[in-house]
Amino acid sequence: MPVKKLKEFLDRERVKYVSIVHSPAYTAQEVAASAHVTGRELAKTVIVELDGKLAMAVLPANRKIVLQDLREITGSDEVKFASEEEFKKRFPDCETGAMPPFGNLYGMEVFAAESLGRSDQIAFNSGSHTEIMKLAYSDFERLVRPKVMSFTT
């Protein structure tokens, strides 16, 4: 079942979404295969540290973050991947590594790869390793208001 606060938020905002239950999967590519969505359409949420502050980088499952690009674009002096220990307390309602890309629900800034907007839909982990949600990219953008930029290869 999706994270309660996410489901309540989407319902309150009257967003149409689909939940897809799949066999347990832990990497973005495994999730995409299990849920039968493309790696371009499945967004992975990566927690990064920008000058010591946690933020979400959201990108297609088939891409990788270029930390140097993220550093330059954000104007941060130091950018690094956050360790699970550094961020898991921020997501008490999620399985580690299955956080949805809704930083607004967790007090985090969200940076979205511009390539995500090339699809009409976005799919993402909804707090567990056995379920994803899918909704219109335009709804994601309207609700989350991510900073859209190019930081992937």
Q: How far is CA 19 from the centre of its chain?
A: 15
Note whether 42 and 28 are within 8 A (CB).
Answer: yes
DSSP code string of 24-78: ---SHHHHHHHHT--TTTEEEEEEEEETTEEEEEEEETT--B-HHHHHHHHT-S-
% residues pLDDT > 70 (the chain): 99
Q: How far apart are CA 37 and CA 85, in angstroms?
A: 30
**Tens digits of per-residue pLDDT, 48-106?**
999 999 999 999 999 999 999 999 999 999 999 999 999 989 999 999 999 999 999 99
Q: How far apart are CA 57 and CA 51, in angstroms?
A: 14
Q: Which of 11-15, 35-39, 40-44, 131-135 has the lowest mean pLDDT?
A: 35-39
Scanning the structure block, which residue is given the tokens 């930083």? Answer: 103
Q: What is the pLDDT of residue 3?
A: 83
Which of these CATH numbers, 1.10.3720.10, 3.40.50.10860, 3.90.960.10, 1.20.1640.10, describes 4-149? 3.90.960.10
Q: What is the pLDDT of residue 94?
A: 94
Domain chopping of the chain, boundaries: 4-149
Q: What is the pLDDT of residue 110?
A: 97
**Tens digits of per-residue pLDDT, 130-139?**
999 999 999 9
- Phi, psi at residue 17, to the nearest 5°? -145, 165
**Tens digits of per-residue pLDDT, 106-126?**
999 999 999 999 989 999 999
Scanning the structure block, which residue is given the tokens 């149409």? Answer: 16
Q: Which residues pair with 125 in a beta bridge?
A: 132
Q: What is the pLDDT of residue 95?
A: 93
Q: What is the pLDDT of residue 126?
A: 93
Largest CA distance in the chain: 40
Q: What is the pLDDT of residue 46?
A: 96
Note whether 39 and 152 are within 8 A (CB).
Answer: no
